[in-house]
Amino acid sequence: MSGWTGLLLALLAVSLVLHFVQYRSKKKRDESLAYITARLDGILSGGAARGKLLHLTDDKQLIALLNRLNGLVETNQRMTATYNKTEDSMRKMLANISHDLKTPLTVVLGYMETLIQNPSTPAEERERLLDKVHAKAREVLVLINQFFDLARLESGDRDIPLNRILLNEVCSQTILAFYEPLTSKGVEVVIAMPETPIYVMGNEEALVRILNNLISNASQYGSDGNMLGLTLREDEEHAYVEVWDRGKGISEFHQDRVFERMYTLEDSRNPLYQGSGLGLTITKRLVEKLGGVITLTSKPYVKTSFTVKFKKTAYGRT
């Protein structure tokens, strides 16, 4: 009997040890889960938007859970950062929209009040004021159209059909439309294009608008360099259209932001540099719609260039 008693006591001791180990293990896991829950609550409430779930444990299942939860935390952090950036961009955009609409409308109202309060204004002066009203009203209309164009592009409501386009021809016709106005201001226009036809899948209207925006931008901000150029080149797979100037350029601080909605350099708020800050944003969206990529490089008074890259397509009949 003493042998059986010893065996039973040994089994009881083992059982107690196992129960104690299980209790300690469960308590430790409960503490870990409570920590994880508290950290997640903090993250979801916005009080702990940064950092990771860190906890010393050798529990393989908890480690796997922490790894997956940290993945979700990182995703949450990226989404929060994107949301905050979008909110900030929207606030700035609304402020700039208010500025860009208010300025010409204030001028229009001022001229109209002058005409109303002075009915005996000489015909020549009346005509001059009406011309200014008309010009400012057109500014407002252009700006509103740009807002709608960007909204349609970003919402996907604007359909842009693609077909085979001879890029040489579109580039030539577009730059030639600017040639006389630029040269009359003393700006040398440099055009470099190969004789070999270069075809891309694109949309002629969208391509013309892209080039118009880029050439207008170079003329507006880079004409102080007295030289503006358009270069068309190719490699085995891609075609490149580069619009460049030798003006004051764009600093590195601004280069990453010039394609943002309503982002303008300080000079664009100067009356001599009127700009809505939407032209380059629309340009980038159009390039992307055509499956292309646009890049910017700038070295002040040496060369500032916007380069658009498109995938080539075989020439011939469609």
Partnered with residue 164 across adjacent β-strands are: 201
Interatomic CA distance for residues 52 and 42, integer angstroms: 11
**12/142 same-domain check:** no
Q: What is the mean pLDDT of residues 93-105?
A: 71
> What pLDDT is recorded for position 91?
72
Domain membership flag for residue 85: no
**73/116 same-domain check:** no
**176/149 same-domain check:** no
- Between helix 204-222 and helix 279-289 the angle, nearest 10°, is 150
Domain range for 119 is: 92-155
> What pLDDT is recorded for position 266?
45
User: Is the confidence at residue 54, as pLDDT, over 60?
Assistant: no
> What pLDDT is recorded for position 197?
95
User: Is the confidence at residue 21, as pLDDT, over 90?
Assistant: no
Residue 58 or 218, more confident: 218
Domain membership flag for residue 317: no
What tens digit of pLDDT does each residue of 278-315 get? 778 888 989 998 999 999 999 988 999 999 999 998 75
* Domain C-terminal end among 46, 80, 114: 80
User: Is the confidence at residue 108, as pLDDT, over 90?
Assistant: no
Residue by residue, DSSP assigns 140-183 as HHHHHHHHHHHHHHHHT-S----EEEEHHHHHHHHHHHHHHHHH
> What pLDDT is recorded for position 186?
92
User: Is the confidence at residue 52, as pLDDT, over 70?
Assistant: no
* Dihedral pair phi/psi, residue 98, rounded to 5°: -60, -45
- Where residue 223 sits, what CATH number does that domain have? 3.30.565.10
User: Is the confidence at residue 107, as pLDDT, over 90?
Assistant: no
What tokens appear for 61 in the block? 């299942």
What tens digit of pLDDT does each residue of 139-178 get? 788 777 777 777 777 666 667 889 999 999 999 999 999 9
> What pLDDT is recorded for position 56?
55
User: Is the confidence at residue 269, as pLDDT, over 50?
Assistant: no
What tens digit of pLDDT does each residue of 204-253 get? 989 998 999 899 889 988 888 899 999 999 999 999 999 999 998 887 77
Interatomic CA distance for residues 149 and 147, integer angstroms: 6
- Where residue 100 sits, what CATH number does that domain have? 1.10.287.130
Interatomic CA distance for residues 59 and 66, integer angstroms: 11
> What pLDDT is recorded for position 316?
44
**131/169 same-domain check:** no
**186/299 same-domain check:** yes
**303/180 same-domain check:** yes
* Domain C-terminal end among 56, 80, 104: 80
**72/195 same-domain check:** no
Residue 249, C-beta contacts closer than 8 angstroms, at least 6 positions apart: 222, 298, 299, 300, 301, 302, 304
pTM recorded for the entire structure = 0.60
Domain count, the chain: 3
**168/248 same-domain check:** yes
Residue 317, C-beta contacts closer than 8 angstroms, at least 6 positions apart: none
User: Is the confidence at residue 65, as pLDDT, over 60?
Assistant: yes
What tens digit of pLDDT does each residue of 4-18 get? 665 565 666 656 656
**131/26 same-domain check:** no
> What pLDDT is recorded for position 120?
87
Domain membership flag for residue 180: yes
